[in-house]
Amino acid sequence: MDRQQSNHSLTEINDELKTSNYIDSENETSIKVLDIFGFESGQKNSFEEFCVNYVNECLQNFLNQKTFKLQQVNMNIKQDEYEEEGFEWNRISYADNSTTVDLFRKRPSGLLNLLEDECKSFYWIISDWLMGQMKIY
């Protein structure tokens, strides 16, 4: 969905919820939409777009860890108790983006770490070159 269509859809959903009887004042509920997962796949992205996408991936990964993985650990711990009470539950399936995030931030082989090392190396080469030029002129 493009941004305009997403905004329009969310506005319609919110307007409908506000004007309808979906929300019980004693037991208030809400709908939350998190639409950040996945890199944009444009022909050419700027570094700024990369940074935004990277942060989005990290945020999604954090939410996955704290929401889905933690919930399943708690469910596994309490499984006997739930079965005793007749409570049925299923594993939550979700797209785990840990490998994508690790590809960029894992040390020492993550792409951002390698890029940082290259930039440091490049900086010193430029610095030496500039010092040489300053001596000449």
Domain boundaries, the chain: 34-105, 107-136
- 58: Cβ contacts below 8 Å, ≥ 6 apart: 101, 105
Query: Encoding tokens for residue 7?
Result: 């905004």
Task: Give the CA dihedral 123, 129, 130, 134, nearest 10 degrees.
Answer: 160
| Chain segment 77-115, per-residue pLDDT in tens | 777 777 788 877 777 788 888 998 998 898 877 878 777
Asked if the model's pLDDT at residue 1 lies above 50, the reply is no
Of the two residues 71 and 133, the one the predictor is more confident about is 71
Q: What is the largest CA-CA distance in the chain?
A: 85
Question: Looking at residue 62, what is its pLDDT?
Answer: 92
Distance CA 71, CA 61 (A): 14
| Chain segment 14-65, per-residue pLDDT in tens | 666 566 555 555 666 555 545 555 555 666 667 777 888 888 889 889 988 8
On whether the pTM is more than 0.85, the answer is no
